Every structure is written in structure tokens, then in C-alpha cells.
Amino acid sequence: MSSTAAASGLVVFLLSVQVIQSQDGWGVTYSPTEVCALKGSTVEIRCSYTYPSRIQHRDIRNTFWFTKEKDGEPVSLITDSEYSGRVEYICSEKWCTLMIRDLRENDSAEYKFRFMTNQPGGKYTGSPGVTLSITGLQVEVSRPYSTRLLMKCLSSCVLPYYPSYYWYKNGQKINTGSSLFVIFGSSDSYSCSVSGYEDQRSPSVYAPKLPSVSVSSSAEIVEDSSVTLTCSSDANPAANYIWYKKDVNPDPSFSEEPHLVFSSIQSSDSGQYYCRAENLMGTKRSESISIDVKYAPKLPSVSVSSSAEIVEGSSVTLTCSSDANPAANYTWYKKDEDSPKASGQIFIITDFRAEHSGSYYCEAQNNRGRSNSTSYLIAVSDKTTMIIRYTRWTLVVVIPILLLLVCLWMRKKKALSSTTEPHEPIETVELHSYPDYENVSNSAAQREDSEEQEDQV
């Protein structure tokens, strides 16, 4: 490094020794061949050159530095638009210095020197050239304690002198020194610089900002389709991501990638999802995003209002249910009939008759598809006829017999009360049940006539 550069505080780093190339008196010597410099600083790359003794200095017509060629010919940095206003050649007899100001990261390249004379074949390029690496300051973060972070201001280049370091919190200078302790989880940002280049600060480090969550498609999410959720957060160092599904106790983690991929999403994947972004500086949770998977109705089920036997004149209610999203609409059919019987989830037959007996099924449909239930057989119970017959037999046979027996008993009691003397034994009358009530009546009449004759005697 020249004395001028040293005096101006240029941050230039020399990493190798001189190398000389020569051929028949032609040669270029670079010192050094590898240079590392801070972004934003100024660097000088020097070389010396030689040529055969038959050539005089007055024969040197052109000297320049280059990094690339056009149509097989080197392009001088002076004419390269990427270096416009930032490049200067400082040359004299047999040596030349390249000065580049306001170094940028894309200035990293291999630089070569070329000189040309007015003699036939009198031109030479020093190859290989000088490798220039541009670097910036970086803040290295570690967490030696659970609640405190250790920050160090570093560069991949070795500084040729011991500089002073400055620390900045949210852009304001707060401290000096090569390291700094801060509280974990702080929402502040931190950066550093070195003396002489305070305006060339390191990138700020900070905890993740509020993560945002996006879904791969803004259209309706359909079962069996591919869906990708993406979590992103502004953070330095770069954040790591963890995905969670909400309302599962505890919320389980699904992925530790920025993307949560469902290659064939299912209805069971519906729910609320959120992500957590974290780095050494802290952690931040995103808002939840709702995933609503649409699907055609599943196989419907049919239930009847009563498990008891159905009798004529009763009310029967059939209910159809199917898992679907969006909710299904329902239509009722009787087997072997084309026209629907009813619409709606519930089908009611208020006055069930024998002609209503048969197999019924429902169809569930939405905009994703449709599905039919299995048939459900309902019929009038056979016990209905038995009940009617039993009722008729009771009315026609049993009740008249009972009434007749009651009348005879009352008549006999009256007769006995009018003819029986005191202390005279009372004759007991036995009643017998007969299957034929006419025979019972005749027998009672004959008994009465016999008793009257005995009274007359």
C-alpha cells in the first residue's frame, strides 16, 4: 500500500507476495496478487513491467487495466461503464497503479495490466493478474446465556491496523469496542462500523418481524389438490420456520421449513394454521390462516324416527345425513320410481298407509358432486290385522256373555230375597261359563221353571 493510501486511512488488505511473469524480456510484476478490501473503501493495485532493451520508453503507446474482453480484445476499465468515475490510473516509467474508489461487491474480480508499444508484436498482458475480494463488516451473533446475546463486529479481511469499532442501535451510536452484549428478544436492530468508515456500516441484525402467511392459490381449495402454505419474515440472521395447526392441544408442529406442502389435501386438513419465525435474536408468531377444503358429499346415512313397528295411520320421519363441504342439499326417492318424493334433509309421511310401504333412499349433492344412500325399507307391521281381529272378537263374543251372566246373577238374587224364610238355608247357585251364550240362557230358564214348580207344591 502506498504512503498516500496509508495516510488517508484506506482499508486495504494484502494477502500474498509478489509474482513476476516474464518472457524474452517482457514481464509484469504484481504486488500483491491477492487483495481484500472493505466495501465502500478505496483500493490501490500496483504493478511494475519490463520490456526488451531494444524498445525505448518512448515506444510505449498505451497502458491500462482490465477485467474482461470484447471480441477477443481487453476492455480498459476507464471505458467500462460499471467503473465510470471510480477508476484512476497512476502510471510512470515501468510501473502503474490502479485506484478504485467506492468499492462495490461486484468489483470482486481478477485485474490484469496490459501495455502496448509501437513495435510489431510489441504488446504484453500480465497473467494471471490480481484477485480483488470486496467484503463488508458483519455482526456475528451468539447466545452464551439464556437471556443475553453476544455480538462481534467482524470482517473476512484482516485489517492492516487495529481500528476502533462503533456500535449502533436503531441507527444511533451507542457504544465502542469489538463486541457488545444485548438482551435476547429485543425488538431493536444493531450494526457496527470501523473508524474512518463510519458510513460503511455492517448490515443490521434484528429479531424476526411479524411473519406473513400466504397460500399458493387464491381459488377454492378442493380435496386431493396440491396446496402450499408459505411463511416469510424479515429477519437477520435469516429466520427458521416452524408450522403449527391451531386448536390441537398442544398445537403440534407440522414442518420446519418456510413451506408447508399438502401434495393431496384432505378434508381432515381443514383448520387454522400459523407459523413461528425464529433466529438467535428472538422469535415471532404469525396470524392464523384458515384452510377450508371443499369436497363432494360422502355416502349418506338414513335414519327413521322410531325403531318400533310402524302401524297404519302413524307418522314416519326419515332423516338423511352426509358429510359435505359446502353443505349438501337432499332429495328423497322411492325405489323403482323416477320422480322425487320430497326435498330437504327430513322427509315426513304423516299418515302412513300400506301403499307407502317400500324402499326409500336419499341423494346428497353440492357443487363438488353427489352421492346416494343405500335403500331403507319401511312397511306396515303385520300385527295390525291381529289387533283388529282381537278387538272384534272381544266386542262380539266376550262382552255379551259377561253381560248375560251379570243379569242372571242379579235376577236370582232378587228371587232368593223374596222367598227365603229366616234361618232357612240359602241354596248356592253355581255359575258355569259356556262357550255358547244361547245354551247358557236356555239352561238358566229351565232351572227357573223347576224352582217355581217346587214353590207351588
* Whether the Cβ atoms of residue 46 and residue 4 lie closer than 8 Å to each other: no
Give pLDDT, residue 394: 47
For residues 300 and 333, what is the distance between their CA atoms, to the nearest angstrom?
Answer: 13
Give pLDDT, residue 355: 87
Domain contains 322: yes
Give pLDDT, residue 351: 87
Identify whether residues 148 and 271 lie together within a single domain: no
* pTM of model > 0.75: no
Domain contains 315: yes
Identify whether residues 58 and 144 lie together within a single domain: no
- The CA dihedral of 220, 221, 224, 225, to the nearest 10 degrees, is 80
Single-letter code of the amino acid located at 192: C
Strand partners, 20: 29
- The CA dihedral of 303, 304, 309, 313, to the nearest 10 degrees, is -160
Per-residue pLDDT of the chain (457 residues; tens, 9 = 90+): 333 333 333 444 444 445 455 567 889 999 889 999 888 888 999 999 988 888 787 788 899 999 999 888 899 999 999 999 999 999 988 899 999 999 998 999 999 999 998 888 788 999 999 999 998 899 999 999 989 999 999 988 876 667 889 999 999 999 899 899 999 988 999 999 988 888 889 999 999 999 999 999 778 899 999 999 999 999 999 999 999 998 765 666 777 889 999 999 999 999 999 999 999 999 999 999 999 999 999 999 999 987 667 888 888 999 999 999 999 999 999 988 889 999 999 999 988 888 888 899 999 999 999 999 998 888 876 554 444 344 444 455 557 777 777 777 777 777 766 555 444 444 434 434 444 444 444 444 455 455 444 444 3
Domain contains 120: yes
| Structure letter (DSSP) for residue 387 | H
Domain contains 206: no
For residues 276 and 242, what is the distance between their CA atoms, to the nearest angstrom?
Answer: 5
Domain boundary among 260, 291, 322: 291
CATH number of the domain within which 244 lies: 2.60.40.10
Tell me the pairing of strands 109-117 and 123-125: antiparallel
Identify whether residues 47 and 123 lie together within a single domain: yes
Give pLDDT, residue 250: 60
Give pLDDT, residue 221: 93
Identify whether residues 285 and 314 lie together within a single domain: no
Residue spans of beta strands (DSSP E) within 71-106: 73-76, 87-92, 95-100
The count of domains in the chain is: 5
Quote the domain boundaries for residue 166.
Answer: 138-194
Domain contains 202: no
Domain contains 207: no
C-alpha dist (Å) from residue 167 to 59, 138, 175, 187, 260: 54, 12, 5, 16, 38
Identify whether residues 22 and 127 lie together within a single domain: yes
Domain contains 390: no
For residues 49 and 25, what is the distance between their CA atoms, to the nearest angstrom?
Answer: 10
Domain boundary among 229, 256, 291: 291
Identify whether residues 332 and 356 lie together within a single domain: yes
For residues 401 and 40, what is the distance between their CA atoms, to the nearest angstrom?
Answer: 126
Identify whether residues 280 and 342 lie together within a single domain: no
Q: What is the CA radius of gyration of the chain?
A: 54
For residues 402 and 398, what is the distance between their CA atoms, to the nearest angstrom?
Answer: 6
Identify whether residues 70 and 183 lie together within a single domain: no
Residue 139 CA, chain-centre distance (Å), reads: 33
Instruction: Determine the 3-state secondary structure of 161 from DSSP.
Output: coil
Residue spans of beta strands (DSSP E) within 217-281: 227-232, 240-245, 253-255, 259-262, 271-279
Identify whether residues 107 and 229 lie together within a single domain: no
Task: Answer left, alpha or beta for residue 61, where phi above 0 means left and psi between -120 and 50 means alpha.
Answer: alpha
Give pLDDT, residue 57: 77
Give pLDDT, residue 418: 58
Give pLDDT, residue 439: 47
Give pLDDT, residue 23: 60
Domain contains 386: no
* Whether the Cβ atoms of residue 136 and residue 156 lie closer than 8 Å to each other: no
Identify whether residues 375 and 411 lie together within a single domain: no
Give pLDDT, residue 380: 78
Identify whether residues 63 and 170 lie together within a single domain: no
Identify whether residues 278 and 345 lie together within a single domain: no
What is the number of other CB atoms lying within 10 angstroms of the CB of residue 258? 18
Domain boundary among 119, 135, 151: 135
